[in-house]
């Protein structure tokens, strides 16, 4: 049996209604089934997610199932999977998403052809019966480029605002260079520090066309839907992004972008916090205040001018508490 070409890392918690679809589509990715290895992580599920993983594992040429007695979170579960990567490439998928046939075969071929560190793709957002293509925000397709050149401009959507780990494929050298791991223990926004590190430290990437990954939006157990203490990790994740940029040799080039991002996302989470329980709302606002307090004031002033009036109004009180001029 051949060594697998691509390892797919699939962490999931309580995904029983969907994970059968996810696993079934992974069986249709290569003409030669031995080209794919499945690493499935049951992250403390209370339903039969793990049982479905184990049943499906028997149908893969290469498969491992890891069971966590208690949830460790998406970031740490993905890192568990990284320790089991075999082959020249790896990718991620979540337990409520699925792939069109031969997506990974196409991506593996393009990764080899372009000789890039990683590839990114568009995806299809599925909300109920509605499907919408979400484009990767980069103008050039099918050509290798510098990941740093895809970070700016600071006041527009760029590739660091497209952090989805599952929207692409990665050469093994990303793992070998220590760029693949997620910040352990983050339960949300774990992909923000990860995508910034990739674009700052990898050498080449490309956006390419391929059969789609379909991202299921609005799932009740998704962290985009729940409002509990895990949401507080947003501010911790953004603080890590700021620290990563400040250590970079071109910090002054990229600080305007990370500050703009921190303000825009803080505005979003402040609005969201209005529907949280009082204690959690206070903690969210305190964590955002601490994040904003750590931002360079000169860059905050510039970024505020680039935000629309509604977001500036949402941020005004918290910025004053953080000692930032408004």
pLDDT in tens, 124-177: 999 989 999 999 999 999 999 999 999 999 988 999 999 999 999 999 999 999
* pLDDT level of residue 225 (50, 70, 90 thresholds): very low
Compute CA distances 115 → 130, 143, 166, whole Å. Answer: 36, 10, 20
Q: Which two tokens stand for residue 15?
A: 């995904």
Residue 219 has pLDDT above 50, yes or no: yes
pLDDT tens across 18-38, in order?
999 999 999 999 999 999 999
- DSSP string of 69-103, one letter each residue: SS---HHHHHHHHHTT--SSEEEE--TT-EE-TTH
Could you tell me the CA-to-CA distances from 292 to 78, 108, 195, 271, 295 in Å, in that order?
A: 29, 41, 21, 16, 5
Q: What's the predicted TM-score (pTM) here?
A: 0.92
CA-closest candidate to residue 198, choices 256, 117, 139: 117
Task: Give the pLDDT confidence of 246-295 residue by residue, as tens digits.
Answer: 999 999 999 999 999 999 999 998 898 888 888 888 888 898 899 999 89
Report the mean per-residue pLDDT for the chain: 92
Residue 201: the pLDDT is 97
Q: Give 187-211 pLDDT, tens digit per residue.
A: 888 999 999 999 999 999 999 999 9
Residue 34, classified by CB atoms within 10 Å of its CB into exposed (0-12), middle (13-18) or buried (19+), is: middle
């Amino acid at each position: 049996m051949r060594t697998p070409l691509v390892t797919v890392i699939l962490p999931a918690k309580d995904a029983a209604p969907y994970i059968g679809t996810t696993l079934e589509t992974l069986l249709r990715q290569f003409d030669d089934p031995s080209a794919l290895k499945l690493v499935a992580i049951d992250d403390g599920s209370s339903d039969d997610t793990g049982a479905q993983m184990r049943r499906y594992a028997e149908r893969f040429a290469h498969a491992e199932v890891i069971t966590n007695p208690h949830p460790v979170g998406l970031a740490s579960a993905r890192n568990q999977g990284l320790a089991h990567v075999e082959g020249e490439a790896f990718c991620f998928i979540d337990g409520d998403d699925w792939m069109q046939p031969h997506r990974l075969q196409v991506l593996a071929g393009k990764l080899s052809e372009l000789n890039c560190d990683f590839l990114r793709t568009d995806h299809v957002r599925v909300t109920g019966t509605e499907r919408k293509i979400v484009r990767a925000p980069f103008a050039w397709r099918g050509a290798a480029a510098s990941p740093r050149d895809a970070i700016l401009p600071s006041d527009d959507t760029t590739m660091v605002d497209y952090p989805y780990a599952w929207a692409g494929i990665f050469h093994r050298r990303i793992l070998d260079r220590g760029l693949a791991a997620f910040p352990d223990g983050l339960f949300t926004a774990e992909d923000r520090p990860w995508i910034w590190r990739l674009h700052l430290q990898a050498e080449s990437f490309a956006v390419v066309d391929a059969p789609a990954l379909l991202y299921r939006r609005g799932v009740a157990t998704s962290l985009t839907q729940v409002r509990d203490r895990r949401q507080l990790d947003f501010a911790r994740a953004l603080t890590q992004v700021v620290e990563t940029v400040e250590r970079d040799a071109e910090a002054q080039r990229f600080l305007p972008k990370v500050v703009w991002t921190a303000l825009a996302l803080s505005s979003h989470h402040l609005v969201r916090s209005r529907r949280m329980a009082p204690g959690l709302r206070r903690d969210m606002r305190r964590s955002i205040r601490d994040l904003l307090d750590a931002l360079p004031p000169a860059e905050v002033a510039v970024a505020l001018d680039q935000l629309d009036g509604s977001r500036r109004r949402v941020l005004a009180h918290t910025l004053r508490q953080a000692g930032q001029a408004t």
